[in-house]
């Protein structure tokens, strides 16, 4: 293939409709505060209208617990003129096409996840999370959550730049969704409940998601011709950059394998490459290795 500065050929790809843009929405915390003035006001309203004051209190409390939108978003904003969102939609669509094909081959039905874009903080089916935790998948609501500023952090903090490095992040989180659909997530939860080493189990889960990301990369390359020379190296670099050992070293801490939750740089690269080279889900059984 002709080298084009490691730029993925994604622009002509299909756009997914499964992206939810929650940027600009505020979470609980800005609701009505029930203080002395509010209590007096509620009592006055109840006297004037004959309503039960307890029902008014319950209503206000419910409003306080419900996420409030800072302002209604205009339809299509910011997706219409947002290149990063456009990129996310194309990569997500590519994972949908790839995993639909693979699941069909296994006589299974692939139900794609929703991908939620958020800014700073998100309320998922798995609870509240801030952007500090990075991208994540929630099996409780079948959604991937992504703050696009993570792509800047991936480049500036971890030294992993390029379109394919970003695509790897999305494909990795979708890999967790694949685990959920295949029943692997439930089996992992049972292992943890039975007293298994939580960190060691977590590492195997994450390495398998890396392998599944590699499987997607194989199909994106061979069947959709999305990759250019150097793209695979970007993915490998991204996998290595977020290894637990490298993160511990960059933070000035001792490398302690017993605390790892995602695996070392070498492990993550090895499993990503295994999935990429084989393109086969069966090559990604990290629990038997």
pLDDT: which is higher, 164 or 232? 164
Residue 203 CA to residue 190 CA, distance in Å, equals 16
Lowest mean pLDDT among 2-11, 77-86, 240-249: 2-11
Give the residue-averaged pLDDT of 202-217.
95
Q: pLDDT by residue (tens digit) across 61-81?
A: 454 444 444 444 444 444 444
pLDDT: which is higher, 43 or 101? 101
pLDDT: which is higher, 57 or 215? 215
Distances (CA, A) of 133 to 50, 141, 178, 220, 264: 49, 18, 21, 28, 18
Mean pLDDT, all residues of the chain: 79
Evaluate if residue 138 carries a pLDDT over 90.
Answer: yes
Q: pTM for the complete prediction?
A: 0.77
Lowest mean pLDDT among 79-88, 113-122, 203-212, 280-289: 79-88
Residue in the block written with tokens 């069966």:
282
Residue in the block written with tokens 């490398």:
255
pLDDT at 160: 78
Give the residue-averaged pLDDT of 86-114.
96
54-58, 108-112, 132-136, 150-154 — most confident range: 108-112
Residue 191 CA to residue 229 CA, distance in Å, equals 41
Burial 68-102 (b: 16+ CB within 10 A, else e): eeeeeeeeeeebeebeebbbbbbbbbbbbbbbeeb
Q: pLDDT by residue (tens digit) across 160-178?
A: 778 888 999 999 999 999 9
Q: pLDDT by residue (tens digit) across 105-121?
A: 999 999 999 999 999 99
62, containing H or E segment: helix 53-65
Neighbours of 254 (CB within 10 A): 7
Lowest mean pLDDT among 22-26, 105-109, 207-211, 269-273: 22-26
pLDDT at 49: 42
**What is the spatial order of strands in the sheet that 19-21 belongs to?**
19-21, 114-117, 143-146, 136-138
Residue 113 CA to residue 21 CA, distance in Å, equals 14
Evaluate whether 2 touches 225 at the Cβ level (below 8 Å). no
Residue 266 CA to residue 286 CA, distance in Å, equals 14
3-state class (DSSP) for residue 139: coil
Structure tokens at 223: 């069947």
Residue 113 CA to residue 22 CA, distance in Å, equals 16
DSSP line for 192-261: HHTT--HHHHHHHHHHHHHHHHHHHHHHHHHTT----TTHHHHHHHHHHHT-HHHHHHHTT----GGG-S
- What confidence tier does 183 reach under pLDDT thresholds 50, 70, 90? very high
146, containing H or E segment: strand 143-146
Residue in the block written with tokens 């793209």:
231
């Amino acid at each position: 293939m002709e080298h084009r500065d490691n730029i993925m050929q994604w622009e002509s790809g299909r756009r997914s409709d499964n992206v939810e843009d929650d940027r600009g929405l505020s979470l609980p915390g800005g609701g009505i505060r029930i203080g002395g003035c509010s209590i007096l006001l509620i009592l006055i309203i109840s006297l004037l209208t004959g309503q039960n004051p307890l029902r008014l209190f319950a209503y206000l409390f419910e409003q306080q617990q419900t996420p409030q939108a800072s302002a209604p978003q205009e339809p299509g904003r910011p997706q219409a003129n947002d290149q990063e969102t456009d990129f996310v939609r194309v990569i997500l669509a590519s994972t949908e096409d790839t995993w639909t094909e693979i699941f069909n081959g296994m006589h299974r039905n692939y139900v794609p996840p929703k991908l939620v874009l958020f800014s700073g903080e998100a309320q998922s089916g798995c609870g509240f999370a801030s952007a500090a935790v990075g991208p994540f998948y929630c099996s409780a609501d079948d959604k991937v959550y992504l703050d696009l500023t993570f792509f800047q952090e991936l480049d500036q903090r971890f030294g992993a730049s390029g379109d394919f490095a970003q695509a790897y992040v999305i494909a990795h989180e979708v890999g967790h969704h694949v685990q959920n659909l295949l029943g692997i997530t439930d089996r992992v939860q049972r292992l943890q409940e039975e007293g298994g080493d939580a960190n060691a189990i977590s590492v195997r889960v994450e390495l398998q998601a890396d392998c599944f990301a590699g499987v997607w990369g194989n199909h994106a390359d061979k069947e959709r011709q999305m990759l250019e020379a150097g793209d695979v190296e970007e993915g490998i670099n991204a996998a290595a950059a977020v290894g637990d050992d490298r993160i511990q070293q960059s933070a000035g801490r001792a490398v302690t394998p017993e605390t790892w939750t995602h695996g070392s740089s070498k492990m993550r690269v090895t499993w990503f490459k295994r999935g990429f080279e084989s393109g086969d889900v069966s090559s990604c059984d990290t629990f038997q290795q």
